[in-house]
Amino acid sequence: MAKLAFTKSKAFYDQYFRNPNPDKKSTHYCPGCGHGNVHKFIAEALEDFEVVDRSIIISPVGCSVFAYYYFDTGNIQAAHGRAAAVATGIKRTHPHSIVISYQGDGDLAAIGTAELIHAANRGENITIIFINNAIYGMTGGQMAPTTLIGQRTTTTPRGRDVHNEGFPIRVCEMLNSLEAPVYLERVSLHDTKHRAKARMAVRKAIKNQIDGKGFSLVEVLSPCPSGWKMDPVDSIKWIEQEMTKVFPLGVFRDKSKEVESFHFEKPQLPADQITDALGLSQLKVQHFEQSKPEEKYRNPGIKAAGFGGQGILLLGVALAQAGMLEGYQVSWIPSYGPEMRGGTANCHVHISEQPIGSPLVAFPDVLIAMNRPSLERFQNDVKEGGLIIYDSSLIDIEPSRQDVEIMPIPATRMADELGNTRIANMVVLGAYIGYTNALNKETVLATLDTIISRKRLIDINRQAIEKGYEFGYEMKQKASGK
């Protein structure tokens, strides 16, 4: 009984059913091409390591664009140069899968250089097999980043000229300057001995991934008789005599014994843990009584403005947060567009019984001005009958408007007296609600737990609001002639 001396690896399809060619047994590669050898090394390794079922091969753009015709594994066809990024995506999604990015020199070292370097630098636990044949084969023999000096291609018809095209890129050497790669080796297909070495290198690069060692790349000097316009015999001679001079063979990096195995975990959390992680279960459903301000203080559009660092944005957030807790519709938006210039910080807040249209407050009912430029700039926008509150300890002018209510408050001085200049914003906030009753004081105080991240500062902010509230309340009493 005859026994087959060679059998095809189980990592290859028996019939290449995806190949439109009627011959479903042969590959699409040219005679003398190196891709077939390397495909076989990969297939054998996957079979020997028993990982065929969990392997995913990334086909690039280039001659190996149809690698998926052959490998009986999961297959992804990537855009030109993007194989290392695509490999990153699928590997991180399914860390148990064995992901092999199979790329040529144009794909990997020209259009895909960034994706290569950064996948290597992140130490992605993937295997890259890099076929270096110093030419663009698929598109008909144009210059590659690895084309040798003086080598004629269809786009270097007089030979690669260093002044015009620069020098061949040495990928292994380049990657060897990075910390993360675990294994980098350049091999060649030019004779049996070197093919055996290449086979071992491919196996090692795959084994490293299975063991969770990290980024491995094998660069294979590979013949392209069609692109080089040589016969197969001359092609392998050319690799030996010319290519290996520019691209020396050998192991550039092997840390596979030193590094610890690492595999990403992708736990599937139950719903309650997801809610916890997003901070949603901590949100309390609290019921706060809605304030009952006079008609003219209802549904305010508020603009708060001052220097960066005065806590203007936080003041606005506190208003919006308190409004939300009292069941109002609210919106908050920081300064935008031309208003951003000039080192001032502004925000716009709506607190409304109705759905809010524009979140902008072009014409405020209430202007809170914490510095002179803000008062000067925005006072004329305030609606007739509106309210201007300004920090009289910092602003040495008075508002010129006669048709609005005005409450000067020495907020920064009051804050200093409490022991912290930076809480002037909360003094003003307190004064606003003390004056208008637009929100209840208890609600505003309740926002501090949420909006103040440094818990030791909550108490002093509370004092500031209380102090401001008293001030605003008394001002209102005076204004009403009480």
Partner 1 sequence: MAKELLKGNYAVVKGAILAGCRNYFGYPITPASEIAEAAAYYMPLVGGTFIQAESEVAAINMLYGAVSGGIRSMTASSSPGISLKQEGISYAAGAELPIVVVDIVRGGPGLGNIAPEQSDYNQIVKGGGHGNYKNIVLAPNSAQEMCDLTMLAFDLAFKYRNPAFILSDGFIGQMMEPVEFPEPRTDFPREDWALYGDAESKKNLISSIYLDPDELEEHNRKLQRKYQEIEENEVRYEEYHLDDAKFVLMGYGIVSRMLRSAVDTLRKEGLKVGMLRPLTLFPFPKKQIKELADRGAAFFVSEMSNGQMVDDVRLATELKVPVYFYGRMGGNVPTTEALIEQIKIYYQKS
Residues between 83 and 112 that touch partner 1 (CB under 8 A): 85-94, 96-98
Asked if 82 interacts with partner 1 (CB under 8 A), we say: yes
Residue among 82 and 441 whose Cβ is closer to partner 1: 82
Asked if 54 interacts with partner 1 (CB under 8 A), we say: yes
Residues between 342 and 371 that touch partner 1 (CB under 8 A): 355-360, 362-363
- Reading phi first (left if > 0) and then psi (alpha if -120 to 50, else beta), residue 32 is in left
Asked if 315 interacts with partner 1 (CB under 8 A), we say: no
Residue among 191 and 353 whose Cβ is closer to partner 1: 353
Among 23, 265, 396, 403, binds partner 1 (CB under 8 A): 265
Asked if 122 interacts with partner 1 (CB under 8 A), we say: yes
Pick from 154, 464, 126: which is nearest to 311 by CA?
Answer: 464
Which sign does the torsion angle of CA 142, 145, 146, 150 carry?
A: positive
Among 192, 258, 271, 481, binds partner 1 (CB under 8 A): 271
Asked if 330 interacts with partner 1 (CB under 8 A), we say: yes
Residues between 140 and 169 that touch partner 1 (CB under 8 A): none
The C-alpha angle with vertex 19 and arms to 102 and 24, in degrees rounded to 5, equals 115
Among 24, 118, 383, 413, binds partner 1 (CB under 8 A): 118
Residue 119 CA to residue 115 CA, distance in Å, equals: 6
Among 239, 317, 388, 464, binds partner 1 (CB under 8 A): 317
For the CB of residue 364, give the shortest distance to partner 1 in the complex, in Å.
13
Among 266, 296, 380, 459, binds partner 1 (CB under 8 A): 266
Other Cβ atoms closer than 10 A to 78: 23
Strands 329-334 and 301-307: unpaired
Structure-token pair, residue 40: 């076989």
Please list the residues that pair with 479 across neighbouring strands.
none
Among 275, 299, 393, 420, binds partner 1 (CB under 8 A): 275
Residue 367 CA to residue 386 CA, distance in Å, equals: 8
- Give me the 283-312 binding string for partner 1, x by CB under 8 A, dash otherwise: xxx---------------------------
Span of 53-61, 154-162, 244-252, 298-306 interacting with partner 1 by CB under 8 A? 53-61
157 burial via Cβ count (<10 Å: 0-12, 13-18, 19+): exposed
Question: How many residues form the binding site for partner 1 (CB under 8 A)?
Answer: 76
Residue 348 CA to residue 360 CA, distance in Å, equals: 6
Single-letter amino acid, residue 401? R
Q: How many CA atoms lie within 13 A of 69 on its CB side?
A: 21
